[in-house]
Amino acid sequence: MRIALFITCYNDTLFPRTGQSVVRVLERLGHTVEFPLEQTCCGQMHFNTGYRREAYPLAKRFVETFADAEAVCIPSSSCVAMIREYYPALAHENKDAEMAAGVQRMLPRVFEFSELLVDRLGVTDVGAYFPHRVTYHASCHGLRSLHLGDKPLQLLRAVRGLELVPLENVEQCCGFGGTFAVKNADVSAAMLTEKTRAVLNTRAEVCTACDNSCLMHMQGMLHRQFAGVRTLHIAEVLAGAEDAPA
Amino acid sequence: MSPRAGQLVQLNPKTAPPFPEAAKADLRDTQLRRNVARATDTIQRKRGALVAEKTDWQALRDAGAAIRHEALANLDRYLLQFEESFQAAGGTVHWAANAAEANRIVLGILRERDAREVIKIKSMTTAEIGLNEFLEQHNVAAYETDLAELILQLGKDQPSHIVVPALHKNRQQVRDIFARTMGLPELSDDPEALTAAARQYLREKFLRVKTAICGANFLIAETGAVTIVESEGNGRMCLTLPETLIAVVGIEKVIPRFADLEVLLQTLPRSATGERMNPYNSIWSGVVPGDGPKDMHVVLLDNGRTRVLRDAIGRQTLQCIRCGACQNACPVYRQSGGHAYGSVYAGPIGAILTPQLEDMRHAQSLPFASSLCGACYEVCPVKINIPEVLVHLRSRVVDRGRRKLSSLFDQERAGMMMMAAIFANRRRYEAAQRLARTGQSTIHHGDAWYHWLPGMAGRWTETRDLAPLPQQTFREWWQQRGQQ
Amino acid sequence: MNGAVKSSRERVLERIRKANLKAAAPQESIPRDYDRTSSQTVDRTLALFEERLRDYDARIFAVRREEIAAKAAEILNAGNRRRIAVPAGLPAAWRAAGVEWIIDETANHELSFDVLNDVDGVMTAATAGVAVSGSIVLQHGPTEGRRVLTLLPDYHLCVIEAGQVVETLPEAFARLDPTRPVTFFSGPSATADIEMTRIKGVHGPRFLDVLLIQD
């Protein structure tokens, strides 16, 4: 099928390899990926920081950009949560009936990456090879807003060569929270320290998740500590192959 | 020893330092952090086990949320029904528009009866209005009888958790407080001994003091009843032994029917202390002939609650039944403890209730004291969507700021406006991406990560490294790929 | 222009009405899909009640109605509890010889706090029991006594009929008289305020024995 990719503003700019990996996986499965170049940002940053007014035109722009997509794939559970939880409210508050209708039409076609694979495409084995010891962190939006459950784990368990180890307190927030990481930097660091301790306890080489925001945060402290652990978006793990190591 | 130890913590939202500043100090209190983590872990674990066992838990949450929603949607009708039933049973209802009035009403009742001392059951509402301090100023001694409140009162401290208010204290600190104030120099720090000392110290007061002040967990409109949910028995002491009992209760505490308790008394104990039922619940209306106080008063308190009710998104805050589960689940509270919120209401519920009670004039940092992880919403027995309210209150804070001249010089606002303009247009967005990379190349070379950044970004690099911008964005790769 | 000053009562009510007019969302009916009836047999319910009471270190003894007095006397004597307060309406047939029964008469002949503080315990009937939580419910009628009776003494001997025990809280609420006072007891009082160490018996009776009447 034809799958439109919403890469998200921060993946586009900071984690292009995640997008490349999504493309590789979907093409490996025989699908066609489209990338509407008009896309920019879903508006979550503005919305969550209190600039609700400024988030509206960005949300509207997203709905218009992807209006004709058969399916929209988003490798970021927080952006999907933004769309599902708050786009209807944004349309309603701004008395935008057209956008409201557009949102309703679009919602059933928007998927986070692991949702797309497991729910929409019905696959858990994407033909991946990733011979490393890996632990999985459950990002808050994926866990509590999208109810991803064990879909990401199903995908990881099907990866050849991958040794999966459970993360203790997996459901505890890593402390990123967008601008929270900077506005409340001390508490954020305290939260991240607990998460880091849990990751190090797994003796994993790689920590993966469905959100690069969490992973960026976690890698920040792991790197600072010379801990010998790297973070990698689940798309990049799933894109791993014998001839294309991740 | 925390930098804030030894200073009397003031939980006044009008004067408390902003959350980041207060939290920074309390983060260095290792005792506090250990106690908070242990307390919240314990209750969370017990709660989790009981919720797993309760197969109709989600149905109870749905019912609880609907009951509280209905109560607020018809609040005037239910308050009037409560008043009528309570007074028909021989009680007296007073209405207080604000804290000052509530304090005056209480003092008036005490003066009429020439009461110079009162025994109290823990009541966050009375803490909210500063009743104890007010009474002290007017030469009335108020003795707290909950063990935690007793510890705090004797130790001249403030609560840090809704349900376990003294959790920031360890046994040695409690021993020191009791030994000093109860005249028991030989007292050991064994919790059993400490509890026994408190039991004896308080019994004398229970048997002697003729006036008591309490709050209430619920008011029942249908029957005009007051409901007190407690663990220690001091509540029962205060509401049966004295001659006069005054309950100070927020107007939002009313529920429609007696039978509605069958829902809330299942979800409240499990959420608050991880028990199937707490030790004692007392329900009664007005004056019970031949049994308990002959003189029964309820003071209904507004103090900003009607203002919260006016906000379509914020009003769900008033559904709160004060279980404290949100605090126990909150990863932010876990690190900072309760005092950093600068209010008697701490944790996630405090972050949304306190600024709203203050009409968003104070405690503006509280809605931002959250990573929006949603754990609080997940555990709330009455389904308050706390993240939704937090985000909404953030926009109210920002909108207040917009109206001020100072906003023109606000860095964050400028940055947000700039980003909004960038995201609004593809060419501008792509140009901004290229500009950022160009800018980076003037100060930074190679793949090395940033260990230090200036300004606001420096708050990140204090404790975390940051990767440099990649040399190619995704869309550049995509467009390049398309040309091959 | 009305010169009268509005009372706080009027002001608060008016604020509420204005606020709800502006911001209240439509009310759907309350979904009551939670468990409202028992899923267990009577025997399983009673067994659960017993198990939960034992978790609180309460003791429970099954007796037939005619055995109440003898069993009560046996338990009280074994515990060296000689002076027991009782509500005036407690059946005389339940009060065996060998124990000093101190009757809390109503109106002007009631026991003082000092007396109640001094007795070895109190014996009452009950209104309901809730098996899931091991709770006992009193409504302070003539066989249960006024509330202070089961508060000051350190020991409570509670006589409850098997037919009064239900599994769930909603079933218990269905049996309660909403116009009478209610006290729920679920284990002796407890505090976890010192380092989260649960200590029993802060105020209120620390010891509970239950006679379960099974005919």
Tell me: the pLDDT tens digits for B299-308?
A: 999 999 999 9
Domains A2-120 and A133-239 share a fold: yes
CB nearest to B370's CB, from A145, A180, A190: A180
Of A48, A141, A183, the CB nearest to B391: A48
SS (H, E, C) chain B: CCCCCCCCCCCCCCCCCCHHHHHHHHCCCHHHHHHHHHHHHHHHHHHHHHHHHCCCHHHHHHHHHHHHHHHHHCHHHHHHHHHHHHHHCCCEEEEECCHHHHHHHHHHHHHHCCCCEEEECCCHHHHHCCHHHHHHHCCCEEEECCHHHHHHHHCCCCCCCCCCCCCCCCHHHHHHHHHHHHCCCCCCCCHHHHHHHHHHHHHHHHHHCCEEEECCCEEECCCCEEEEEECCCHHHHHHHCCCEEEEEEEHHHEECCHHHHHHHHHHHHHHHCCCCCCCEEEEEECCCCCCCCCEEEEEEECCCHHHHHCCCCHHHHHHCCCCCHHHHHCHHHHHHCCHHHCCCCCHHHHHHHHHHHCCCCCCCCHHHCCCCCCHHHHHCCCCCCHHHHHHHHHHHHHHHHHCCHHHHHCHHHHHHHHHHHHHCCHHHHHHHHHHHHHHHHHHCCCCCCECCCCHHHHHHHCCCCECCCCCCCHHHHHHHHHCC
| Residues C189, B282: C-beta atoms closer than 8 Å | no
A12 at the B interface (CB within 8 A)? yes
Residue C1 has pLDDT above 70, yes or no: no
Specify the residue for token string 């930074």: B444
- pLDDT in the model for residue B2: 47
Q: Which option is the CATH number for A2-120: 3.30.70, 1.10.101, 3.40.50, 1.10.155? A: 3.40.50
Q: From CA B255, how far away is CA B263, in angstroms rounded? A: 11
What does pLDDT average to over chain C?
Answer: 92
* pLDDT score of B7 more than 60: no
* A12, A20, A221: residue with CB nearest B463: A221
Confidence bin at C199 (pLDDT 50/70/90): confident
Residues 399-418 of chain B whose Cβ lies under 8 A from any Cβ of chain A: 399, 412, 416-417
| Chain A contacts in chain B segment 363-402 (CB below 8 A) | 367-375, 377-378, 388, 391-392, 394-399
pLDDT tens digits, residue range B352-399? 999 999 999 999 999 999 999 999 999 999 999 999 999 999 999 999
Q: Which residue has the higher pLDDT, B353 or B8?
A: B353
Give the side-chain half-sphere CA count within 13 A for B184. 18
Q: A79: part of which helix (H) or strand (E)?
A: helix A77-93
Q: Which residues of A182-201 are buried (b: 16+ CB within 10 A; e: fewer)?
A: bbbbbbbbbbbebbbebbbe
Mutate to test the interface with B, among C202, C206, C208 (most CBs of B within 10 A): C202
User: Domains of chain C (ranges plus CATH)?
Assistant: 37-213 (3.40.50.10420)
A133-239: CATH topology is Rossmann fold (3.40.50)
Look at residue C115 in the predicted model and tell me its pLDDT.
93
User: Residue B191: which of C20, C34, C197 has the nearest Cβ?
Assistant: C197
Report chain A's terminal Cα–Cα distance, integer Å.
26
* A neighbour chains, 3+ CB pairs within 8 Å: B
Q: pLDDT for B254-268, tens place per residue? A: 999 999 999 999 999
- What whole-number percentage of chain B has pLDDT above 90? 78
Q: Residues C175, C25: contact at Cβ < 8 Å?
A: no
**Does C113 sit within 8 Å of B241, measured CB to CB?**
yes
pLDDT value at residue B185: 87
> SS3 for C108?
coil
**pLDDT attached to residue B164:** 76
Q: How many CB pairs under 8 A join A and B?
A: 188
Q: What is the pLDDT of residue B166?
A: 79
Q: Please indicate whether, in this complex, the C-beta atoms of B69 and C27 are within 8 angstroms of each other.
A: yes
Instruction: For B392-420, write each residue's pLDDT tens digit.
Output: 999 999 999 988 888 777 889 999 999 99
Specify the range with the lowest mean pLDDT, choosing from A137-141, A143-147, B92-96, B168-172.
Answer: B168-172
Q: Is A134 helix (H, G, I), strand (E, B) or coil?
A: strand
Range of weakest confidence among A156-165, B19-28, B167-176, B256-265: B167-176
DSSP helix/strand/coil, C129:
strand
- The residue among B372, B376, B479, B480 with the most chain A CBs within 10 A of its CB, best to mutate, is B372
* Between B207 and A145, the higher pLDDT residue: A145
The answer to whether ipTM exceeds 0.85 is yes
Residue from B180, B154, B157 nearest B167 by CA: B157
B-C C-beta contacts closer than 8 Å = 245
% of chain A at pLDDT higher than 90? 98
Query: Residues B299, B105: contact at Cβ < 8 Å?
Result: yes
With touching defined as 3 or more inter-chain CB pairs under 8 Å, the answer for chains A and C is no
Instruction: Tell me the C-alpha distance between C168 and C129, whole Å.
Output: 9
Q: Find the range with the poorest average confidence among B134-138, B442-446, C92-96.
A: B442-446
**pLDDT of B1:** 41
DSSP state of A145: I
What does the block give as tokens for B370?
């959250």
Q: Which residue of C has its CA nearest to B302?
A: C12
Please determine, for residue B454, whether its predicted confidence score (pLDDT) is greater than 50: yes
- Rounded mean pLDDT of C85-94? 96
Of A74-88, A210-224, B194-208, C10-24, least confident by mean pLDDT is: B194-208
- Å between A69 CA and nearest CA of chain B: 18
Q: What is the pLDDT of residues A157-193, one digit of tens each?
A: 999 999 999 999 999 999 999 999 999 999 999 999 9
Domain boundaries, chain B: 29-306, 409-482
For residue A142, pLDDT beyond 50 = yes
Give me the residue spans of the domains in chain A: 2-120, 133-239
- If you average pLDDT over every residue of chain B, what do you get? 93
In CATH, the number for domain B29-306 is: 3.40.50.10420
How far is residue C84's CA from residue C73's CA, in Å, rounded to a whole number? Answer: 10
On the question of pLDDT at A118 being above 60, the answer is yes
Q: What is the pLDDT of residue C119?
A: 96
Tell if the CB–CB gap between C15 and B174 is shorter than 8 Å: no
The answer to whether A50 contacts B475, with C-beta atoms less than 8 Å apart, is no
CA B240, CA B255: separation in Å to the nearest integer? Answer: 23
Instruction: State residue C4's pLDDT score.
Output: 67
- Within 8 A of A190 by CB-CB distance, chain B residues are 27, 335
% of chain B with per-residue pLDDT over 70: 98
Can you read off the two tokens belonging to residue B335?
A: 């690190």
Residues of A (221-240) whose Cβ lies below 8 Å from B? 221, 223-224
pLDDT of residue B4: 54
Which stretch of A85-94, B474-483, C173-182 has the lowest confidence by average pLDDT?
A: B474-483
What is the structure's pLDDT at B3?
Answer: 47
Q: What is the predicted pLDDT for the residue at A114?
A: 98
pLDDT of residue B280: 95
Read off the tokens for B353. Answer: 């209730």
